[in-house]
């Protein structure tokens, strides 16, 4: 959000020609170079201009410098001083709201954003305020308004998707994202969000398709690879060839895990041996390598050998699924008490499913919807 604040305030840095004094010109140049501390030192010894527009620009410059120094309270103070000189100015209302939002003054931010009128940035700011309040329904309503006012802005659609995905029912998020993706054919983020929503709603095949499309659009979309890996490794079946090709090009350990599934389906001992060798070579701290190595040993009948990597797997990733897998392994080994304990832990950690989804969403967050 700090970057969003500077983005909203930065036009002040383009107002060099509005200042007659050389020190102010120097301060603007330093702020443009992000040398905020030096700019602040100059501004401390400069009197505010008397002409109104220059006076406003002076306070906006001070606010931009304060934001650059992470002085949120100072940015609020200076923006309010500018706003007092032109209380109905939409740009000043919005910039003041951004500063207040960054400083956690949510009521004031909401008041100024609302006063700015029915414009896209104002609605997006209202959405951010309501999100900070954890009122996700109100936030979604504001982002819907921003989308309606500026349908060409991808950032508003992404922000709306985040809020809709905070609701118990993912259907509205899926519908919205399905409508949005054709409008933004080059958006890997929208497709990744669609894949996550479909996965959580139980549409695994659709999720796999959406995530692989995201990777095709942006081969650097790390979050899409991670989400896709999580989904396909939950199944004992090999994924479609196109998905396997994408993931094998991204991570060789994941590729070995997928080859293991393909070898099992094709009854191919050579491919199976190659896959197991790849998993055995993975670093001990690699979650996929460790967990999938345990699976490989189980599938090849080496149950005793599977115990050590499966225990490491749970230590690295204590998910409900892994607790369950370890519990079933203990049961096969006749370790009834240990098996029972793992099933108890599985129940206790079921909430991690939603936490994983939240982690995926956080990785896709944009700095600020209002700055899009």
The pair of structure tokens assigned to 24 is 């102010």
Q: Render 11-53 in DSSP notation, one character per residue.
A: GGGG-GGG--SHHHHHHHHHHHTT-HHHHHHHHTT-PPPSSHH
Of 115-129, 138-152, 357-371, least confident by mean pLDDT is 357-371
**DSSP H helical segments within 87-182, as ranges?**
90-102, 106-115, 120-132, 136-149, 154-164, 171-180
Domains of the chain: 1-117 (1.25.40.10)
CA distances from 19 to 11, 40, 167, 197, 339 (A): 14, 16, 50, 51, 75
Rg (CA), the chain: 27
* Maximum alpha-carbon separation in the chain: 86
Quick check: 342 pLDDT over 60?
yes
Q: Which residues contact 245 (CB under 8 A, 6 or more apart)?
A: none
Choose among 30, 29, 76, 83: nearest CA to 55.
Answer: 83
Q: Which of 17-26, 32-41, 219-228, 336-345 is predicted with the least confidence, judged by mean pLDDT?
A: 17-26
Query: CA-CA-CA-CA torsion for 365, 287, 225, 231, nearest 10 degrees?
Result: -100
Question: pTM (2 decimals)?
Answer: 0.80
Alpha-carbon 241 to chain mean position: 28
- SS3 for 308? helix
DSSP 220: T
69-73, 76-80, 150-154, 361-365: range with lowest mean pLDDT: 361-365
- What span, in angstroms and rounded, lies between the C-alpha atoms of 22 and 90? 29
CB 369 within 8 A of CB 143: yes
**pLDDT, tens digit, 9 for 90 and up, residues 138-185:** 999 999 999 999 999 999 999 999 999 988 889 999 999 999 999 999
Residue (of 85, 90, 81, 86) closest to 62 by Cα position: 81
pLDDT of residue 357: 67
67-81, 149-163, 166-180, 339-353: range with lowest mean pLDDT:
339-353
Contacts of 340 (CB under 8 A, 6+ apart): 327
DSSP secondary structure, 42-78, as one string: HHTT-PPPSSHHHHHHHHHHHHHHHHHTT-HHHHHHH
| Choice among 106-110, 147-151, 345-349 with the minimum mean pLDDT | 345-349
**Which two three-digit tokens encode residue 278?**
């790849």
Q: Which of 261, 308, 303 is nearest to 280 (CA)?
A: 308
The residue among 135 and 49 whose pLDDT is bigger is 135
Q: What is the C-alpha separation between 237 and 132, in angstroms, rounded?
A: 41
- Give per-residue pLDDT as tens, 245-270: 999 999 999 999 999 999 999 999 99
CA proximity to 230, closest of 344, 74, 219, 251:
251
CB 149 within 8 A of CB 124: no
pLDDT > 70 fraction of the chain, expressed in percent and rounded: 88
């Amino acid at each position: 959000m700090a970057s969003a604040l500077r983005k909203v305030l930065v036009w002040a840095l383009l107002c060099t020609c509005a200042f007659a004094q050389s020190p102010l010109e120097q301060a603007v140049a330093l702020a443009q170079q992000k040398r905020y501390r030096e700019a602040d030192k100059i501004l401390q010894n400069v009197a505010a201009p008397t002409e109104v527009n220059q006076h406003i620009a002076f306070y906006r410059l001070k606010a931009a410098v304060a934001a650059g120094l992470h002085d949120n309270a100072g940015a609020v103070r200076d923006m309010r001083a500018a706003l007092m000189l032109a209380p109905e100015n939409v740009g000043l209302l919005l910039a003041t709201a951004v500063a207040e939002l960054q400083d956690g003054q949510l009521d004031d931010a909401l008041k100024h954003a609302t006063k700015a009128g029915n414009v896209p940035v104002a609605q997006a700011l209202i959405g951010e305020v309501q999100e900070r309040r954890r009122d996700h329904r109100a936030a979604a309503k504001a982002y819907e308004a921003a989308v309606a006012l500026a349908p060409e802005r991808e950032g508003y659609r992404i922000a709306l998707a985040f809020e809709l995905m905070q609701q118990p029912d993912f259907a509205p998020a899926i519908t919205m994202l399905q409508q949005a993706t054709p409008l933004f054919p080059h958006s890997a983020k929208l497709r990744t969000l669609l894949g996550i929503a479909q996965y959580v709603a139980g549409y695994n095949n659709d999720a796999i398709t959406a995530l692989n499309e995201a990777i095709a659009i942006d081969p650097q979309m790390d979050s899409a690879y991670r989400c896709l890996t999580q989904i396909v490794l939950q199944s004992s079946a090999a994924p479609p060839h196109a998905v396997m090709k994408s993931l094998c090009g991204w991570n060789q350990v994941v590729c070995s895990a997928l080859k293991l599934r393909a070898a099992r389906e094709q009854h191919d001992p050579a491919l199976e041996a190659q896959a197991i060798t790849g998993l055995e070579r993975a670093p001990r701290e690699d979650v996929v390598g460790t967990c999938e190595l345990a699976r490989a040993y189980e599938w090849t009948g080496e149950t005793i050998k599977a115990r050590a990597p499966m225990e490491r797997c749970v230590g690295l990733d204590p998910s409900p699924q892994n607790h369950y897998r370890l519990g079933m392994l203990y049961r096969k080994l006749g370790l009834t008490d240990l098996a029972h304990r793992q099933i108890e832990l599985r129940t206790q950690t079921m909430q991690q499913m939603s936490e994983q989804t939240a982690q995926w969403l956080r990785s896709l967050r944009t700095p600020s919807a209002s700055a899009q």
